[in-house]
Structures are given as C-alpha cells and as structure tokens.
Structure 1
Amino acid sequence: MSSRVETSTPPNTPQPIGPYNHIAKVGQFISIGGTAGVNPATGKLAGPDVHSQTAQILESFKVMLESVGSDLNHVIHVNVFLKDMQDFERMNQVYVEKMGDHRPARTVIGVNELPKPGVLLTMNLTAITKELVSSR
C-alpha cells in the first residue's frame, strides 16, 4: 500500500473556503473533510433549509468519491455537524434517500457555529476505494 498522501478537490464540487483540499487519499483509504451544502455551479448554498443542504452535501460526496475510485456504498464512517438538533429527522430523511440501504457508522454532533453564514450542517467522511487490495 502506498504511504503517499494524495490530496485533491475535483471539478464540480464546492471550492474549499480555507487552505485545504476536500479529499485526502492514502492507498485505498479516503478521507473527505468538512463539506457544506454549497452548489458548486453558483458557489452559494443549495437552499436555506436542511433538506436542500443535506442533499447537496451527499451529491458533492458522490462526485468526490467517484473522482478517487469510490462511491457512497464504500463509505465507512460519516460525521454530521448539525447546528440545530430539531433538523435531525429532516436530515435523516434525505440521508436515507441518498445512501439507500448502505448504513455506515455515523456520528451526529450538535454545534454552535459553522464557518460559512447560513450553513445548517456540514459532514465529513471516511471511505475506501472500490478496488480490492491484494493480500500478501
């Protein structure tokens, strides 16, 4: 397995608001940093509600994962940072729609503030590539 860390922010995904790339990959392991529900075409929030922001985050994850040989079915763990726990059920509805039957480990954390104005939640994840690693 390669120990080199490859970082990237693929086209058709939101641009980072700080000095980082969205994706870090080592061998078959993938980490995607905190991602908000920003429409990459406009650079603005996908909508003012948790439904539209959650849907956009998961769509961005799909594009990011595909860019490094993975998909939503290869997600191992998701962290959700939610500004208002009253949005928990609405976030879950969209999450189930987008994730299908795949249920990776997940942590939901209530937060007081997020860096971009109007953002109601961010998510990050850990995944693996679709390629099989040969055993030695």
Structure 2
Amino acid sequence: MKTIINTNNAPAPIGPYSQAVLAGNLLFISGQIPLDAKTGELTLTDIAAETKKVMENLKAILTEAGCGFEHIIKTSIFLTDMQSFAQVNEVYGSYFTDNFPARETVQVSALPKNVNVEISAIALKP
C-alpha cells in the first residue's frame, strides 16, 4: 500500500509525479528544485541560496509526512557544475546534526527549469 504525500508548503509537481510517496515506512521524496511554493518563482541568486530553498522544500515535505531530516537515510544531489560542490555541501550539511544519510552527488548537463541543483531523498518514517 502506498500513500501520496503533498503539501502546499512545497512546490507542486511540474509533471506526472507526486511530491512524495510513503510505502510502508519508507518515504520517497521526489527531486526538489529551488522553486518557491508560494510565488512560483525560482531562487537563482546564487548556488547557496538555491540549495537552501531546495532543502526548505524537502523540509516542508518531510514535515507533512511527520518526519524530519534525522529520518533521511539516502539523498541524491544533482548539480549542473561540480565546481559548486563545496558550497552546496556546506548548506546541505547545516540541515543534519549527526548520523548523516548515505548520498551520491552527480554532475548532469541540465536540470528542470534550468536550475543548478536538485535533491531527492528517502526517509524512514518513525
């Protein structure tokens, strides 16, 4: 059985997918980009601001599902420029305190809406 998780506090999907799906006690969060849920505007001032907006979108979905960053077991980070890795990593790391999730970071040629970072996550619901 699966449960669809959606919140107005994160951007609505821009295609045929859900913000997140809860399957058993695993929460699969779709890739989030730096899109503001309230204004529909992209945050593209710099990579740190983009990453913060992505993490806040993830946080909104986690909250809706009754989870927090401490419940994330795996993330995937997609960057259009690996030179941004250190800045992204600094912002990303500020959302975790310990017991960090598994992760991969890959460079891609393009992302939706021409953003520079997208992050997806898998969490274990308590």
TM-score range, shorter chain: over 0.9
Structure 2, unmatched stretches of 5+, are none
Deviation of residue 101 (structure 1)? 2.9
- 1:18-37 matches, within 5 Å, as 18-37=15-34
Partner Cα distance (2:4, 2:41) in 1: 24
Aligned partner of 2:116 in structure 1 is: 120
Does residue 64 of structure 2 align to residue 67 of structure 1?
A: yes
Partner Cα distance (1:26, 1:125) in 2: 14
Structure 1, unmatched stretches of 5+, are 131-136
- 1:46-125 matches, within 5 Å, as 46-117=43-114, 119-125=115-121
TM-score, scaled relative to structure 1: 0.87
Deviation of residue 122 (structure 1)? 0.3
- Equivalent position SS for 1:99: coil
Give the number of aligned pairs.
126
Say what the alpha-carbon RMSD is for the aligned residues: 1.1
Question: Percent identity over the alignment?
Answer: 32
Does residue 11 of structure 2 align to residue 14 of structure 1?
A: yes
C-alpha contact (below 8 Å) 1:49/1:120 kept by paired residues: no
Question: Runs in 1 of length 4+ with deviation above 4 angstroms?
Answer: none
| Higher Rg | 1
TM-score, scaled relative to structure 2: 0.94
Partner Cα distance (2:99, 2:8) in 1: 26
* 1:68-113 Cα shifts (integer Å, max 9, x gaps): 1211000000000000000000001101112233411010011001
Deviation of residue 63 (structure 1)? 1.2
Partner Cα distance (1:107, 1:62) in 2: 19
C-alpha contact (below 8 Å) 1:55/1:98 kept by paired residues: no
